């Protein structure tokens, strides 16, 4: 699975007691998604938008599991992202996302309107 993640619109958040960075994203079908990165903010400096591809690798840091995603910026720079959780709109079809990421906790649903996320 691939996501286009808008890193310039990142905000700090806390989920399940873990400090995370929340970023808007879109999947390959153009559906809006929120990703929650468990990563130092310094790792993201200089990146505005990346295309991230999920891997089978899952790391645990301080008791919290996060999937490793390989990302590439528009400039061709690569980085690894630790995505703690993804969220899709409650009215969106989650079947494709759930199937591709079934080893982790299922995606959460959020009930804000889809206009709250503008695809990058």
Q: Which residue has the higher pLDDT, 19 or 119?
A: 19
Q: Which of 27-31, 63-67, 93-97 has the lowest mean pLDDT?
A: 93-97
pLDDT for position 5: 92
pTM of this structure: 0.73
Residue ranges of alpha helices (H) inside the chain are: 95-100
Based on the number of CB atoms within 10 Å of its own CB, is 49 exposed (0-12), middle (13-18) or buried (19 or more)? middle
For 40-53, the pLDDT digits (tens) are: 777 888 888 999 99
Using the 8-state DSSP alphabet, how is residue 103 labeled?
A: T
């Amino acid at each position: 699975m691939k996501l286009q993640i808008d890193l310039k619109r990142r905000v700090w958040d806390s989920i399940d007691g873990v400090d995370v960075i929340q970023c808007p994203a879109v999947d390959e079908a153009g559906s809006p998604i929120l990703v929650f990165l468990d990563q130092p903010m310094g790792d993201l400096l200089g990146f505005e938008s990346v295309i991230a591809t999920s891997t089978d690798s899952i790391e645990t840091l301080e008791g919290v599991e996060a999937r490793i995603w390989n990302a590439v910026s528009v400039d061709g720079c690569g980085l690894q992202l630790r995505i703690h959780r993804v969220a899709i709109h409650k009215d969106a079809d989650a079947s494709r996302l759930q199937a591709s990421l079934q080893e982790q906790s299922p995606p959460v649903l959020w009930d804000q309107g889809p206009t709250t996320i503008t695809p990058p």
